[in-house]
Each structure stands twice: as C-alpha cells, then as structure tokens.
Structure 1
Amino acid sequence: MMASDDSLTLPGTLSSGQKTPVSRLQRWRIAGILLPFAFLGLMEALVRTHVVPEHLVPAPSTIAETLWQLCGDRLGRHIGASSLRVFAGFAIGAVIAILFGAAMGLSRRLEALLDPSFQALRAIPSLAWVPVLLLWMGIDEAPKITLIAIGAFFPVHLSVVAGIRGVDRKLIELGEVNRLSQRALFVRILLPASLPQIFTGLRTGLSLAWMFMVAAELIAATRGLGYLLSDGRETGRPDLVFGAILLLALLGKLSDSVLKAIETRVLSWRDTSTGSNR
C-alpha cells in the first residue's frame, strides 16, 4: 500500500512545500545574529566617509586593529582578570541571595523585618560603595569581588522572593492535602514552580555583575576590561575605549547564552507557549 502524502512530509515543511513558521523564525534568528555585523559595517562606512568624526567614534577596523595589537598574553590577562572577578562575585552574590530570598519567601515575618533595609540598600549606586569598600577592605581583590556580589545580589533576591510568593495556591494546598513536610513542600512544589522566575533573576544578576565589574575595577586595578576603559579615557584613545566596550558586550552575551542554555535544560519539563512566530 502506498503511503499517504502526509506521511511523506519532511520536518520543517508543509505538505504544499511551504516553509513552516519554525523555519521562518530561524531566518529571523540568523538575521538577528547578522544585525550587529551590519551595524559595524555601516559605522565603518560612516567614519571612512567622514560623516562621523573618527576622534569621537573610531572605525570598527581601527578598533579591531587595536585589539589585535593587544592580542596574546596582555589581552588575555585583562579578559581573564575581569571574568574571574565577575564569576566569583556573581557566584557569591547569587548564593547569598537565594538563601535570603528563600527564607524571606517562606516567612512573611522575616520579609517584613528585612525587606525595608534591602530595598534601601538596593537604591545605593554602585560607585557609592567604592570608598566604603576601600576603607573596609583595602585595594586588593576583596573589595572588587564584594562590589560585584552586591550588584548580583539584589535582582536574584527579588526574583526568588517573587517566585516563591507567586506559586499557585492550589499547588500548595495539594501538597498540604498529601501531608508533605515543609522541606518536601519546598523541594517538590515551591522550588520547581519558582525556578523560571529565579532564572530570570540570575540572568539579570549576571548582566549587572558585568556592569558592577567596571566600577569595581576603578578600585586601584591594574588589569581588567574596566582598567582598559579607564586607561583609554586617560590617554585619549577612543579605539581602546570602544574595544573594551565591545569585549564587555561579547563576554556578557556569551555568559548569558550559557546561563540561558542551562535554564533551557533545567526547565525542559515546562509545557509553555513559545508565542507568535510573526
């Protein structure tokens, strides 16, 4: 017996031979990857035709040449120093935030006690912490990592509290009906249900960790991308400034992509809508 036409339809195509919405979405994703390169090409043309002054915005080719000259151990040391500070500060801040957030999410009394202080501390700008940390910790690595941890702490803390508070009451009642202990209720119901929001907070905290790293490397740093920014400003080299900015953007995107991949794997059990492909 001949197979029906439907059984011969290949994945990614419709029976009429048209592309599926998934294929169209894939083209948009490829366009999204190419968009930054198109922007760099446009800036190259604008600078070379003197539409944009080169002393204000250097050509991307000039920036690439500067980074190439820094390649090797020197650039690697700057990237490595900044990356280690970010990951150490983010890990410390995220772990403490998860612990405090879980405790405050489970106890309204503890939330009422600590939340006003945390919200006041959250409003303090990153640079305002610099003289305090210098006074307390000196000029070694400790104040830099502490400042990055502070930046990562608050978005993760807020997401954990909001995630636990936002769990559907019916799920909690179901656990109570099945006589789950408080620990089992947290592990089997509250934590899985709040994980999507927690991962959102982790990704936000990671991006803030990169931002706070620049402020942290103003604390007597001799290595790091924040140091390159400061050095380029002081020596009047916009190519070095923009090169450091591009590296920060690239490293921030790469680290966020890794965390997003972990999120997708951990939350693979979810049955959610992917939204419109238009």
Structure 2
Amino acid sequence: MTAVSTSTSTSTSTTTTAAAPLATEARGTPRARRRGLSPGRRLPATRLIGPALLLALWAAASAAGRLDPGAIPAPWTVVRTAGHLWSAGTLPTDILTSLERAAYGFAIGLTAGVVLALASGLSRVGEALIDGTVNLNRAIPTLGLIPLFILWLGIGEAFKIAIIAIVVYIPIYLNTHAALSGIDSRFVELAEVQGLSRLQFVRKIVVPGALPGFFVGLRLGVTGSWLGLVVLEQINATSGLGYMMFQAQNYGQSDVILVGLLVYGVFGLISDSVVRLVERRVLSWRRTLSS
C-alpha cells in the first residue's frame, strides 16, 4: 500500500513538473499574442513618407527622361513656375480667394450638419423630418445641382459657397447622426436615474458619445470642401486657383495646372492634419488602437 502511494505521488509530481512549463507557456502566449497584434508606437510625421516617396519617384523619372515635359513637367519646373506666379502677385491673390470661398462654405456646412444631426438624433420627430431628406440629398449628385443653383443664386459667389456647404454638411451629418444613434441606451437610463436635465444629458452623454463620429465627418467635410472648390472655381469664375488652372488649360500650361493641384493637395493635407491633431487632443481620454 505504501509502495502504491509512493508510486502515485511520484507520478503526480512528475506530471505536475512536466505540465508546469506548458502552463507557463500557455499563460505567456496571450501576452505575446497581444503584443504582436498591436501596431506599435506611433512614429512622427509618418503621413509625409508617402508624399515624399511619390515626389522622389516623380523627380527620378523626370531626371531620367521617362516623362514627357509637355505633359508632366519636372518638379523643379513646377517650383520655378510657382515662384514666378508668386512674385507676379497672381498666386497669392488666387490662394486668398480660394481660402475665403472654402472657409465660408465650410462654416455654413459645419453648422448645418451639426444642428441637423442633433435635431434628428435626439428627437423622433426631427428624425422623421430630417433624416430622409438628407439621405435624398446625398443620393443626388451635388455637382449636378450647379445649373439649378446658378439659376437661383446667379453666377456670383453665392452659388459656389452654397455648393461647398452642401458638400460639407452631408458627411458631417451622416457620421454625427450615426454616432448619436450608436450611444448605448444604458447611458440614457443612467442619466434618467441620476435625474440629469436635458442640457446636462447633452453635455455629459450626447457630446462625448458623438464626438468620434463627428470628427470622422469633419475630416470628410474638410476634404470635400477642397474637392468641390476645384470644380466650382472653373465655372464662371474670375479668380481663384481653379480659375488659374482653367486659364492654364486653354494655353496648354501644364506646369501652372500642377502648381494649382499641388496647392490644393497641400491645403488638404494640412487641414486634415489639423483636424487629426484636434481630435487626438479632444479625445485623449480614449484608449484606441491608433493611440
């Protein structure tokens, strides 16, 4: 009997000793897997690597004679042309005009998108009146409204600003409304139990819950304002970057066209980076994959 007990104890001890490394390895596997799935530490200025690589390829292809200078001028030619336009005073004037149009249209679209999203997301009556109308507007090509808006508002600045505002407000409304609709109903019940007023509910529950979707819509709206401006400034305009590019097309000046495109691209990249920076600061309390 003692021998059997001793044998059983020895077997159990051997099994436990053999299983210990397996248990340790099993416990260590999820930790290693979590570490491997993480994207890692954020690197500074990573979004500039792609544009810098594209610029390097463009310069290398131009220097090797692989690109037709008449169709795609070399980067140094474009920079030289931009310097001439700046010294002549043409480029600064066109840039200021384009920035003014984009700013007015963006401000109106931002205000309209947020107000409509709040009215639709916080009220069933507002949702019935607003959501279907906005989605109908989204289904209609915005640039297809240009002839109608010219008849309504004339060929001046008003129709350009109105079209930009429409391009901006739609993504802001859609993403903010989706974020509002996605707020957990348990937070609403908690607010009711705590006896929060309507204003406190909006400030403490609605705004924090809607901010992530709002910033997604804001980024799309900023980009949309520049995309709409490219087209609008080539229609019945007498100034602006789009007008400059349209005139260059008539005279076959591809370098001037590239100057306008690069300015649009730089403005778009800068504005998107500013929105991303504000988003990280405002939503610093979140722990997400990107952070």
SS state at 1:273 partner? coil
Q: 101, 124, 142: which is aligned to 1:85?
A: 101
Unaligned residue ranges in structure 1 (runs of 5+): 1-20
Partner of 1:272 in structure 2?
287
What's the offset of the Cα at 1:31?
Answer: 5.3
CA distance in 2, matches of 1:260, 1:249: 16
**2: CA distance between counterparts of 1:194 and 1:169?**
14
Kindly state the Cα deviation for residue 30 of structure 1 after the two structures are TM-superposed.
4.3
Q: Which of 243, 255, 269 is matched with 1:253 structurally? A: 269
Bigger fraction of residues in helix: 2
Report deviation, 1:275: 4.3
AA in 1 matched with 2:286 = D
* Corresponding residue number in structure 2 for 1:65: 80
8 A Cα contact 1:148 1:213, kept in partner: yes
Q: Is the 8 A contact 1:43 1:59 kept in 2?
A: yes
SS of match in other structure, 2:72: coil
Give the length in aligned residue pairs: 251
Aligned residue number for residue 208 of structure 2: 192
- Is the CA contact 1:91–1:149 (under 8 Å) kept in the aligned structure 2? yes
SS at match of 1:191: helix
* Partner SS, residue 167 of structure 1: coil
* More displaced 10-residue stretch of structure 1: 94-103 or 105-114: 105-114
CA RMSD, Structure 1 to Structure 2 (Å): 1.8
Aligned partner of 1:248: which letter? Answer: Y
User: Aligned to 1:38, which of 53, 74, 89?
Assistant: 53
**Same amino acid, percent of matched pairs:** 35
Superposition deviation, residue 134 in structure 1: 1.1
| 8 A Cα contact 1:57 1:238, kept in partner | yes
If you compute each CA radius of gyration, which structure gives the higher value, 1 or 2?
Answer: 2
The aligned runs of 1:1-278 (5 Å cut-off) are 22=41, 25-26=42-43, 29-30=44-45, 32-72=47-87, 73-268=89-284, 270-275=285-290
Counterpart of 2:287 in structure 1: which amino acid?
T
- Offset at residue 52 of structure 1 (A): 2.0
Give the drift of 1:135: 0.8
In structure 2, distance between residues paired with 1:275 and 1:217: 37
For 1:207 and 1:101, the matched residues in 2 are separated by 20
**Letter aligned with residue 271 of structure 1:** R
Label 1:77 to 1:261 Cα distance change in 2 as closer, same or farther (>3 A).
Answer: same
**Aligned-partner residue type, residue 258 of structure 1:** V
Residue 51 of structure 1 aligns to a residue in which SS?
Answer: coil
Q: Deviations over 1:28-87 (max 9, x none)?
A: x44542442332222122123222222222111111111111014321111111111111
For residues 247 and 260 of structure 1, what CA distance do their matches in structure 2 show?
Answer: 20
**Contact 1:130–1:219 at 8 Å: present in 2 too?**
no
Name structure 2 gaps, 5 residues minimum. 1-39
Secondary structure of 2:67 counterpart: coil
* CA–CA distance in structure 2, aligned partners of residues 275 and 192 of structure 1: 18
Instruction: Please state whether the residue corresponding to 1:50 is helix, strand or coil.
Output: coil
